[in-house]
Amino acid sequence: MNQTARRPSPSGAAMIGLFLAYMLIPIAATYLFSVATKWDATILPEGFTTEWYVTAFNHAYFASSLTNSFIVSLSAVLIGLLLVVPTTYWVHARLTGAKPLLELLMILPFGIPTVVLALALIRVYSFPPLGRSPFLLIGAMIVFSMPFMYRPVSNSLAAINVRILTEAAYNLGASTFQVLGRVIAPNIMPGILSGSLLVFATVFAEFTLANLITGAGFKTFPVLLVEFTRRDGRVAAALAVISFTIAWIASLAILGIARRGKTTHETVRAR
């Protein structure tokens, strides 16, 4: 009842302790495992080594799969930006009647299991140059990730009342370019940045589409990782750690942006 000097309840603390254990142990263990020499009956590893990382780096597909993943992720971010940001701005500024349609199109990907998306795309685009190509993969990744770009951008556009700002800027004599560059863009930049990072992180980690659409033909990092989980657990651990680290960095950057820009960080996502 009393708001002052509240202390955590013992049951609450216990629950949060268990939650932290559940969330952190698998990840912490993987980090340790990736640098452990022998670790099979003790709380902590018996010794440390970088051997598994060296093996991973020297693997024939390591560099190429990492490059492939970066190509796919960056393309998805770039094309996603070009496709989603102007469309979202347009709908907010000029075509508010189309907002329900846009919302629907942005929810649709959540309702399509990634395996189904992969299957459907393969069925339609079975001919070159698209069939099973990186281009088709990038297209699929954009469909899958565009809600992550749309949400933050749409939220930051909604937060500034584009119409009134635009009219005010025109009223003060600004040109269309000045309106976009000096009024709208700075205001939605945090949204664009979080959206881009979110798309990058999710696309980078996406295994299903890559495995089913390009598979061995254009190996991405998660595909290589899964391969190794069946071949060499030590090397797989090193690869998993690299994945986790990229995900952490992207997530922390998004949180940093959210905190600084005070954008409302809405969390609705399905996978």
Partner 1 sequence: MGLFALKSRQRFAPWLGLVPFLAFCLAFEIIPIIVLVRGSISDSDGVLTFANYQRVSAPLYVRSLWNSIQLSAITASLGTLLGLFIGYAIFNWPSERFRESLIALSDVTTNFAGAPLAFAFIVILGSNGVITLLFERQLGLELYPAFSIYSYSGLVLAYVYFQLPLMVLLIIPAFAGLRREWRESALNLGASTRQYWRRIGMPLLLPSLLSGFILLFANAFGAYATAYTLAGSRLSLVTLQIGFSVTGEVRHEPGVGDALAVVSLITMGMCVLAYQLLNLRMRSEMR
Partner 2 sequence: MAYLELQTLDKMFGTLPAVRNLSLAIEKGEFVSLLGPSGCGKTTTLRMIAGFESPDSGQIILDGQDITQLAPNKRGTGMVFQAYALFPNMSVYDNVAFGLDVTGRPKAEIDARVREMLALVRLEQTDKRRPHELSGGQQQRIALARALAIRPRVLLLDEPLSALDAVVRVALRSEIRRIQSELNITTVYVTHDQEEALSISDRVVVMREGVIEQMGTPEEIYRTPQTRFVAAFIGTANQLEATVDGAGTARFHQTILRLPSAPPVGSKIALLVRPESLAVHTTMPADNGRNLLEGVVQTMTFLGAITRIEVLVQGERVLADVSAEERVHLAHKQQVWLSFAPDACQVMQVQS
Paired tokens of 268: 């609705």
Paired tokens of 55: 């093996």
> What part of residues 12-41 is at the interface with partner 1 (CB under 8 A)?
12-13, 15-16, 19-20, 22-23, 25-27, 29-30, 33, 39-41
Burial class (CB in 10 A: 0-12, 13-18, 19+), 189: middle
CB of 93 to partner 1, least distance (A): 7
CB of 115 to partner 1, least distance (A): 4
Nearest Cα to Cα of residue 218 among 58, 55, 69: 69
CB of 154 to partner 1, least distance (A): 13
Stretch that binds partner 1, among 46-54, 123-131, 152-160, 186-194 (CB under 8 A): 123-131
> What part of residues 48-77 is at the interface with partner 1 (CB under 8 A)?
none
Does the protein bind partner 2 through residue 2 (CB under 8 A)?
Answer: yes
Stretch that binds partner 2, among 1-9, 181-189, 223-231, 251-259 (CB under 8 A): 1-9
- Residue 142 interacting partner from partner 2, partner 1, none (CB closer than 5 to 8 Å by kind): partner 1
Looking up tokens 């960056």 gives 74
Does the protein bind partner 1 through residue 149 (CB under 8 A)?
Answer: no
Nearest Cα to Cα of residue 155 among 58, 262, 82: 262
- Residue 2 interacting partner from partner 2, partner 1, none (CB closer than 5 to 8 Å by kind): partner 2
Stretch that binds partner 2, among 2-10, 51-59, 121-129, 217-225 (CB under 8 A): 2-10
Write each residue from 3 to 32 as x if it is in contact with partner 2 (CB under 8 A), else as -, in one continuous string.
xx----------------------------
**143, 235 contact by CB (below 8 A):** no
- Residue 81 interacting partner from partner 1, partner 2, none (CB closer than 5 to 8 Å by kind): none
- Residue 39 interacting partner from partner 1, partner 2, none (CB closer than 5 to 8 Å by kind): partner 1
- Can you tell me which of 56, 66, 72, 140 binds partner 1, judged by CB under 8 A? 140
CB of 87 to partner 1, least distance (A): 4
Helix/strand/coil for 2: coil
b/e per residue 53-90 (b: at least 16 CB within 10 A): beebeebebbeebbebbeebbbbbbebbbeebbebbbe
Helix/strand/coil for 27: helix
- Residue 37's DSSP bridge partners are none
- Residue 261 interacting partner from partner 2, partner 1, none (CB closer than 5 to 8 Å by kind): none
Does the protein bind partner 1 through residue 231 (CB under 8 A)?
Answer: no
Sequence-separated contacts (24+) of 43-51 with Cβ below 8 Å: 51/234
**What residue spans of the chain are helical by DSSP H?**
10-33, 51-58, 62-93, 99-111, 114-124, 134-160, 162-171, 176-178, 185-205, 208-213, 221-229, 233-261
Q: What is the binding site for partner 2 (CB under 8 A)?
A: 1-4
